[in-house]
Structure 1
Amino acid sequence: MMNDELKSLAKEYVDKVEHVCLLLLEGLNLKTKSDLWKYRRAHYIPEINLNDNKYEFHGRGCRFSSKDMIIDWDFGCSFGSRWCGINPGLFSYYIKENHKDLFELYSWSKIQNGFEQAVISGEMVKKADLYFFKIPITETFASDFHKEFDTLIIDDYNSQWIIKRNKMVDRFIRKSRRILNLNGEGTDVYILSFFLNDRKVFSIPYGDVGYPIKAVTIMEALMRENKEVSKNVKRSNSC
């Protein structure tokens, strides 16, 4: 296992990246990470300045600087809505800039060794060359999806997918045995509604941060392979 100090620094790093990313969404009047990708595709802007905060995009990441902090990260593009996949080199740079007294203790190689130990112990998961914290099982609950339904509807604030029950939907449910209680809050949180004979029988928030990795992979495929439609379809709200 990695030591507690390194774990605390890594969680601080992830939290601060999320904070400055949410400030960016607010400043651009956007709602989600997906909205930011669409914005960047429509407006090729390598640098954005908001209220004396500078965002400099590079490759797969971004460098944020203000009078109080400098932080550089790689977006967790391959891991759903998580803003940050921890690159040991960029994390080491963060420590150097913001915790100078600890820099000599945490070189790039020491950080990577600590993260590899965390992967082995189950605290983290590695996607490509980036590291992500897993959700502790103590923060999850056993899900109890409604067994009888014929249609799944996925909603966010402006999009909707209507999917007839199929083997992929059933596989998503099987892989979602323990999930984080999202309470429908936060960015990139969808609502999954299950219908039987046009009547809603069950609904639950969905966010890829709060579901097992295998379930997230299946949900991404469901949304990719099914057509996005407008939200003007009316259905009964009875449960």
Structure 2
Amino acid sequence: MADEAAEIKAARERLVSAGSARILGATQFHWGDGFSIDQIPNPAWRTIIGAGRIAWKAVGRPLLRLATQDTDFRNRTARGFVDFAGRRSMIDYGSYAVLQIGGQEWSGRSGRAVSGLSASAAGVGTPLWLVDLIKGTTGAEDLGTELIAGEQWRHFTLTASLADASAGSAVGLATPQRDQFDDLLRLVLDVWTDSHGLRQVRFVQSGRTDTVTFSESGVSLADLDWGRLPTFRSPGEGR
């Protein structure tokens, strides 16, 4: 297990040492997953909520799909870049984007000027957060190789301490929702590596799963405008 943990940290260092990377992002939301009406103790409320669900499936959901052109809000994909040397990243989900610099982030309609937005603390699941968390790896298990995008990647599941990762980071790391403090000392995530370094990271938190894929490392960032939210997936926005 120690060898696997050391291998993952080495793969992370190879990626970070490249200075930058092109990224693909995916966020899957789990709204209401695992919830059963039978868990509601009051029978009257069970009846009301059950009727509401039937009405939503019959009328509400079709109307929402029509109004949003069948957009799937539970699954979002994005494109962007991360600058390890400058501690910043930008990612566009299509009409919605996020830009992070240091411990702050700005979000809103793709293409908007950052000067017109309010900054907030960088959250859980961002590209930099995921890469930083790996520094706190305390154990890992090798799950073998998998064919992804025509390439052979090694899949690991690892345990990481948020305290150790945060102590080794330039800025403190955001805290995911957990029931007990000790749970933060054994956060579980999946990573994929190859000979080039870290290729993909996946983390499950309350209500969502964040996956970041590093599709190309050492890319030029010279043409990027860090004063605006990116428009990689929505080039017509905000210009």
Please indicate the TM-score interval, normalised by the length of the shorter structure: under 0.3
Q: More helix per residue: 1 or 2?
A: 1
TM-score, scaled relative to structure 1? 0.24
Q: Looking at both structures, which has the greater relative contact order when contacts are Cα pairs under 8 Å and sequence separation is at least 6? A: 2
